[in-house]
Amino acid sequence: MSNVSNDYIEWIGIKEFNILKDIRLEFSSQINIIIGENGVGKTQILKLLYTEFNREKGQEVSNSFCNEFYNKGTQLELLKIVTGRESLFYGGTKLPCTYIPAKEILTHANGFVPMYNKYKEFPFDKTYPTLIEKAQRWTLEEIPEIAKNIIPKLEKILNGTIVIQNNDFYVKKIDGTMVRFDTEAEGLKKIGLIWQLLMNETITSGSALFWDEPEAFINPKFVPDLVEILLELSRNGVQIFVTTHDYIFSKYFGVKSNDGEVLFHSLYKDDNNKVRYESDKTFSGLNHNSIRDTFIQLYEDEIERAME
């Protein structure tokens, strides 16, 4: 259970949102892991939740700052949040939240936001410049309370800290070496981004984090650390939503978490090509589990090959 009482997203009902025609998902107040094959709407759900909680009260969906994600017929009257002891249906109340896309963007931070604002056909959605602006905020001198057990782990993986010079991001190594993001490993850039968002209090208690494929490009030996970091954030009041295709990442939540901290969601298509979903407290408890099925198939193929 979480040590911090805070607002959280309890469930959402979606109608006519791209391929999600009529679906209701119920969420954990701590960590939600969304799996499924490509094309079932995992990333769309993250972006939908994120953009809705950045939309001003009364603002029409068609005028949302991320309206490229919507169809005109999208209905969100069933979005529900819990505030302390009260439950209410969403009516445009903002919830502090951060969206991290699968594609790394801080390498291109210098000049990105002005270019986005200048050119109408710039080929990135609003989540990218918004993330850059959040990452460029000044960092604190002291480690925030919710990150005291996390920052040391991040700095050990990075072998340093994050520094911004002339709008470019660097990893400042322990020996003083400055490594530009464009020459740093992709996985370490992700770790550096989390360091930055924690140290400038973009990610805080009472906020939500939407992270698309956090394990992508991460050295497998650091996956247990990544899972521990997400669990620690959730225990300090951050509601987390992640998507993944990774077996090891998913299974480590079962190894590292306490009962009730994690909820797994599987999106799949039925025989009529309609997107359905199921949830379970355990990864192995999902009946529709494309990640597990692929690993079983690999195991069977290896046995068949060995018997030839």
Task: Supply the CATH classification number for the domain 8-96+204-306.
Answer: 3.40.50.300
pLDDT of residue 8: 82
The band of 266, judged by pLDDT with boundaries at 50, 70 and 90, is very high
pLDDT(77) > 50: no
Can you give the C-alpha Rg of the chain in angstroms?
A: 20
The band of 95, judged by pLDDT with boundaries at 50, 70 and 90, is confident
Q: How far is CA 89 from CA 13, 64, 246, in A?
A: 11, 19, 34
pLDDT(5) > 90: no
- Paired residues of 20 in beta bridges: 17
The backbone region for 9, taken as left when phi is positive above 0, alpha when psi lies in -120 to 50, beta otherwise, is beta
Q: How do 262-269 and 31-35 pair as beta strands?
A: parallel
pLDDT tens figures, 113-172: 999 999 878 888 888 999 999 999 999 999 999 999 999 999 999 999 999 999 999 999
More confidently predicted of 53 and 307: 307
- Where do the H-state alpha helices sit in 107-215? 112-118, 127-135, 151-158, 186-199
Give the total residue count for the chain. Answer: 308
pLDDT tens figures, 194-215: 999 999 999 999 999 999 999 9
pLDDT(2) > 70: no
The answer, as to whether pTM is greater than 0.85, is yes
Mean pLDDT for the chain overall: 86
Q: Where are the domains of the chain?
A: 8-96+204-306
